[in-house]
């Protein structure tokens, strides 16, 4: 998120927002459904081109709290809107007050205060979260709920249901009509020190109603005894023993239980969750005031969910949303993918699972459609070491593409690391009162967005591109064929891709 007054003014002007009521223009009752793309941009990135018409995450979360009149539902992995530079257990420890101001800490403070004011206005607030992280885990949400009967706060441990995984979705739903879906955690650093990407809807009850079903499914899980509703199954699709809810389609029909979720998935397949031939699509009109060529034409959109056992009706599993977006590319077109993590396997499962789904889709469109696929992967302090091997194996598709006289293949994949300045200088400023030399708090200076966009379709999600995030972890994506969203998301990607903050991943040699 831009921290300077000039940057903020630019965002407001180009997005055509109404500052008086603290919400975008057109957000009044009875207005047309509208959607904006939303970003956080870390401080100290002066050479990153700003895309006009994109809102800031901090503003959007504050509006969702400040404009709520009846209810507010929040899915969060953890809570750290309030920094703790005086806590030795915190990644913020040891930074001065002026440092924290320079980092943009006030953004988290004002979002939390907006939540407190909403709670004091007797707004019905429900929060579902993972157990969180040190130093205070879920203390902030517990404080919001303390002494306020209108605020409910529950913790859902995915490991009890799937053996591993977390509640990783980042979703806010206000008054059953305004929605945020994106990569930003409920963390001050996600507002000013981490690059995030999301989408914000106002006056869109059709979107809110659908996401609300998913929220309710998670809420229901938090009230149940997982032991009574889980089984260990041999998963033929992924060739591993793993724990799943007993209504999972990874179980044979005769082994399944009746789902306690009223709208859980009911697709008559025997093994696993094959791609739906005709997944549920949303046909609703929405405007895009942040984009100069917004039109009132209808374009299909969709929502996808993870894990598959929490999907419902005929909404597709989240993995399919990503795969179908890649495969939507036109012949000779370009697919753009941005992610923090990329791994062609599981990361947390007891048995390691090989996961070629996205890699196969990419190779397929390179061969069959001569498409160009560009991938941005974050390189930062907590980079997964095995990542580069999988990226290099994907780059080998370029060699295979031209390896035979029978191939008529001119497609290619290009992969860059996204390196936010200062990524290798993060952590507490003090350790046992000794200066560390770090310049930024821990778990910052990283591109955390998760999205894909072809030349016709955009997919904006909450999941890292690793097997666990699609099969054992809570995640949501919104996708659309709306040209305004597609074009503006392409522009956001290109601003990153052509910035000085990217480094190419070196390919494998042809003789390898």
Domain ends where: 199, 215, 231?
Answer: 215
Claim to verify: residue 281 and residue 415 sit in the same structural domain: yes
477-502 pLDDT, tens digit each: 999 999 999 999 999 999 999 999 99
For 496, the 3-state DSSP assignment is: helix
Which DSSP letter does residue 345 get? B
Domain ends where: 215, 247, 277?
Answer: 215
Q: Is residue 512 in some structural domain?
A: no
Q: 160: which 2 tokens?
A: 């009890």
CA 371 to CA 364: how far, in whole Å? 9
Residue that wins the pLDDT comparison between 409 and 9: 409
CB count in 10 Å sphere of residue 19: 10
Tell me what pLDDT residue 262 has.
75
Claim to verify: residue 274 and residue 189 sit in the same structural domain: no
Q: Is residue 250 in some structural domain?
A: no
If one counts the domains in the chain, the total is 2
Claim to verify: residue 208 and residue 274 sit in the same structural domain: no
Claim to verify: residue 357 and residue 420 sit in the same structural domain: yes
Domain that holds residue 405: 266-504
CA 496 to CA 501: how far, in whole Å? 7
Claim to verify: residue 154 and residue 21 sit in the same structural domain: yes
Claim to verify: residue 51 and residue 168 sit in the same structural domain: yes
25-62 pLDDT, tens digit each: 444 545 899 999 999 999 999 999 999 999 999 999 99
Tell me what pLDDT residue 293 has.
66
Model confidence band, residue 298 (pLDDT cutoffs 50, 70, 90): confident
Whether the predicted pLDDT of 264 surpasses 50: yes
Q: Is residue 463 in some structural domain?
A: yes
- Annotate 106-134 with b (16+ C-beta within 10 A) or e (fewer): bbbbbbbebbeebbeeebebbbbbbebbe
Instruction: Quote the pTM value.
Output: 0.93
Q: Is residue 223 in some structural domain?
A: no
Partners of 235 in the β-ladder: 240
Claim to verify: residue 201 and residue 289 sit in the same structural domain: no
340-374 pLDDT, tens digit each: 999 999 999 999 999 999 999 999 999 999 999 99
Whether the predicted pLDDT of 299 surpasses 90: yes
Whether the predicted pLDDT of 273 surpasses 70: no
Claim to verify: residue 179 and residue 310 sit in the same structural domain: no
How do strand 55-56 and strand 34-40 relate by DSSP bridges? parallel
């Amino acid at each position: 998120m831009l921290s300077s007054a000039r940057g903020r003014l630019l965002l407001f002007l180009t997005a055509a927002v109404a500052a008086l009521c603290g919400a975008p223009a057109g957000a009044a009752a009875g207005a047309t459904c509208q959607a904006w793309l939303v970003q956080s941009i870390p401080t100290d990135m002066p050479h990153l081109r700003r895309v006009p018409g994109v809102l800031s995450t901090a503003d959007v979360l504050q509006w969702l709290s400040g404009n709520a009149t009846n209810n507010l539902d929040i899915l969060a992995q953890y809570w750290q809107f309030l920094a703790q530079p005086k806590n030795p257990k915190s990644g913020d420890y040891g930074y001065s007050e002026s440092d924290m101001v320079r980092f943009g800490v006030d953004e988290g403070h004002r979002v939390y205060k907006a939540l407190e004011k909403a709670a004091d206005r007797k707004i019905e607030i429900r929060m579902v979260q993972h157990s969180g992280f040190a130093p205070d885990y879920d203390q902030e949400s517990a404080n919001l709920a303390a002494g306020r009967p209108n605020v409910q706060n529950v913790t859902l441990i995915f490991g009890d249901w799937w053996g591993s995984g977390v509640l990783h979705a980042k979703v806010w739903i206000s008054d059953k009509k305004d929605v945020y879906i994106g990569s930003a955690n409920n963390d001050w650093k996600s507002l000013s020190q981490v690059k995030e990407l999301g989408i914000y809807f106002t006056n869109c009850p059709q979107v809110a109603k659908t996401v609300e079903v998913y929220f309710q499914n998670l809420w229901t899980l938090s009230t149940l005894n997982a032991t009574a509703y889980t089984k260990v199954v041999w998963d033929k699709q992924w060739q591993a023993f793993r724990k799943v809810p007993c209504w999972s389609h990874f179980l044979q029909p005769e082994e399944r239980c009746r789902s306690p979720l009223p709208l859980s998935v009911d697709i008559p397949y025997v093994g696993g969750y094959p791609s739906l031939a005709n997944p549920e699509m949303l046909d609703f009109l929405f405007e895009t005031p942040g984009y100069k060529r917004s039109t009132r034409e209808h374009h299909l959109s969709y929502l996808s969910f993870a894990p598959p056992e929490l999907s419902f009706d005929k909404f597709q599993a989240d993995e399919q949303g990503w795969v179908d977006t890649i495969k939507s590319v036109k012949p000779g077109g370009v697919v753009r993918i941005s992610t923090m993590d990329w791994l062609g396997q599981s990361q947390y499962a007891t048995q390691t699972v090989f996961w070629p789904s996205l890699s196969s889709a990419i190779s397929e469109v390179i061969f069959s459609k001569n498409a160009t696929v560009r991938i941005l992967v974050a390189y930062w302090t907590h980079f997964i070491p095995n990542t580069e091997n999988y990226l290099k194996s994907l780059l080998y598709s370029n060699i295979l593409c031209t390896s035979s006289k029978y191939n008529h293949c001119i497609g290619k994949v290009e992969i860059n690391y996204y390196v936010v300045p200062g990524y290798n200088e993060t952590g507490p400023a003090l350790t046992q009162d000794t200066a560390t030399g770090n310049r930024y708090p821990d778990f910052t200076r990283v591109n955390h967005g998760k999205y894909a966009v072809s030349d016709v379709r955009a997919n904006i999600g909450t999941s890292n591109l690793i097997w666990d995030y699609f099969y054992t972890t809570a995640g949501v994506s919104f996708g659309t064929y709306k040209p305004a969203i597609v074009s503006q998301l392409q522009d956001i990607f290109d601003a990153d891709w052509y910035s000085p903050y990217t480094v190419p991943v070196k390919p494998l040699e042809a003789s390898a």
